[in-house]
Chain A
Amino acid sequence: MPPTPMASDVCTPLLSVRRLKTVFPLDEGTVIAVKDVSFDLHAGRTLALVGESGCGKSVTARSILRLLDRPGRIEAGQVLLRRPSTEQAGPETIDLAKLDDDGPRIREVRGGEIGLIFQEPMASLSPVHTIGNQLTEAIRLHRDVSKCEARSMAIGLLREVGIPQPQQRIDFYGFELSGGLRQRAMIAIALACRPRLLIADEPTTALDVTTQAQILQLLRQLQAQHEMAILLITHDLGVVAQTADDVAVMYLGEIVECADVDTIFHDPRHPYTRALLKSMPAMHATNRGRLETIAGSVPHPFQRPSGCPFHPRCPQVITGQCDCQAPRLRAIGESHQVSCLLEEAGS
């Protein structure tokens, strides 16, 4: 399979994921959570990874940082992180998939070069440590500063993410803050060492709509300030429309369609992408009919369908082909790739 160039971008990507395959060997059988996933992330741009729950979005994100729960492991593929030249060394590319998952090199990357925020800000903050404790910990892991300096840096960070009265709030526990402030604190921790890439795993799902908009606004603003790449994981197409530059749609661990955000919304080619879009309420819809749903349900991971993983639910299934022949992700336009036999037949 060819690498997936985002044609609009000429400079080399910050992070390239190549044919990533992550599996969970369980007693009952091996679950392939991520299969042959490839994408690129560029500085200053946001890639949204979209799909229903259980499609492998989060596992992809965790594979990048090597934070998989046992017994999950990366079976194949590369996660290439490009580093700019520093005083000590010239530019280099490291394959995160090859690193020891508790070694010093991956730990340098975690928090230092790639930040991570989660869906549940409450659960992501320790209930028995103050915000400041966790924030200064993040700073001092990657910066050689004194406790005192780290604290003033931490206050600055809290101010930057828009937490009022940061001098007092730094000594608060997570459960003492409102949901929005908690997520802001979480962002401050993730961005403590100015990572060049932020992975946001459903960052707004647990928040109410106004807070959601504020947090997304904050992320965009921080991205613009620091030229940061964002990998946004979400199932909410509204969030995608607001924030993403590029979109990759995942189904059962595979990327089925990948394009820039306009193309995805206006010219979706994969039946699954279309179905997803149809199941979203439209702002200016004229008829107040029922929303369409996708027939059937996501198959059990042990019973991965043969051929195209979507064929049992696909309205346009070609019997005799889709159920035995696996489609491949192929470019059908400038920066637009689809994995569907319909497109292969058409081209």
Chain B
Amino acid sequence: MLTYLIRRFMIALGTVWAISILTFVIIQLPPGDYVTSYIAQLEASGDIVTDQEAENLKRQYGLDQPVTMQYVKWVSQIMRGNFGMSMEWRRPVGDLIGERLALTVLLALAALVLTWILALPAGIYSAIRQYSPADYTITFLGLVGLAVPNFLLALVVMYMGFRYFGANVGGLFSPEYIDAPWSLARCWDLMKHLWLPALILGAAGTGHLLRIMRANLLDEIRKPYVVAARARGLQEHRVVLKYPVRLALNPFISTIGYTLPVLVSGSIIISIVLSLPTVGPLLLKALLAQDMFLAGTIILLIGVLTVIGTFISDLMLMWVDPRIRMES
């Protein structure tokens, strides 16, 4: 159990490290160093940057040192919570993304929960009524969810909302709450807006989990221990719920590990289509404007949060599956 924990933790650390390298590469990729382009941008907008200031900036990011040292400097800055400045917004990156990051996480989690609420019962029903019309319908809907890229789904929903309800379904807040401070009313408003993007975001995952659930359950339902439970005189629906569903849940939980990255990825792109105040639109703008600090930080933080989420799902898996718990 401890070895399992340590192993998962090491993998999580490795992943964070890999993400930081990739992010650093992305920040470095555009031609020219970023301090130069930062200064150029500041000057273009009428600011005067003294040579001393420029020199300080360069030293701060270790531009006079080899790439590996620059990487170390960059990482240690981030560890201290200094994510650098956004060139486009002229504000510290940390300030810009705080709330947006929280909303991104919220959206991904809402989609995850919705995915479960939909996929679990539908998958179970589909499996125990295999080859029934309901099974075919559910399977087909799942496939549609899987096949329609979520940004297209978002597009269609936007169009429908606009066309038939005359409403803009984008955004996460009603206009009066967009800049309002947090309050109960604002939270409620958020909830009212959150379900639709979460549903769009969760469609593909629902289709995927549905198929997994159905296949797992069909596998499990034929196993001797299920027949044994039935032979004990247990009612059919209790047999199914207590044994195979319980077991089919394990791969379900273990899929969180890779559903989460997919959800976060998806949240970026549908946020852009639905103009949700998450990090998605900010990332796109930053990338198009080559505002690499902002973009890099977003990519890094999203990656790290995903890794944390995956790690938590690993812990959950350990908790529900005694076979992993007993592994020494």
Contacts and interface: CB of A to CB of B under 8 A. Distances in A.
Given A67-B231, A115-B231, A138-B233, 10 more contacts: A67-B227, A102-B236, A110-B233, A125-B228, A128-B246, A128-B322, A141-B232, A173-B326, A175-B326, A189-B228
A111 B224 contact: no
Nearest to B234: A141
Contact of B232 (A119, A127, A137): A137
A69 B222 CA distance: 8
Contacts of B246: 126, 128-129
A189 B323 contact: no
Contacts of A134: 229, 232
B225 interface: yes
A126 B233 contact: no
Interface residues of B, number: 25
A116 B225 CA distance: 11
Given A126-B243, A126-B247, A137 B227 contact: no
A107 interface: yes
Given A109-B233, A137-B234, A118 B326 contact: no
B68 interface: no
A299 to B, nearest CB: 25
A123 interface: yes
Contacts of A176: 326
Nearest to B323: A127
Interface in A168-199: 173, 175-176, 186, 189-190, 192
Contact of A110 (B130, B224, B230, B322): B230
A287 to B, nearest CB: 41
Interface in B89-115: none
Interface in A139-188: 141-142, 173, 175-176, 186
Interface centre among B130, B229, B234 (most CB of A within 10 A): B229
Contacts of B236: 102
B157 to A, nearest CB: 39
Interface in B41-100: none
Contact of B225 (A108, A123, A190): A123
Interface residues of A, number: 36
Nearest to A115: B231
Contacts of B230: 67, 110
A186 B231 contact: no
A112 interface: yes
B214 to A, nearest CB: 15
A190 B326 CA distance: 27
A123 B231 contact: no
B224 A102 contact: no
A142 B321 CA distance: 29
B30 to A, nearest CB: 52
Contacts of B163: none
Nearest to A104: B235
B234 A107 contact: yes
A118 B224 contact: yes
Interface in B267-296: none
Contact of B224 (A109, A112, A124, A128): A124
Nearest to A126: B225
A308 interface: no
A95 interface: no
A79 to B, nearest CB: 15
**Shortest 5 CB-CB distances between A and B: which pairs?**
A111-B233, A116-B231, A111-B232, A110-B233, A123-B224
Contacts of A119: 224
A120 interface: yes
**Which interface residue of A62, A65, A127, A190 has the most chain B CB atoms within 10 A?**
A127
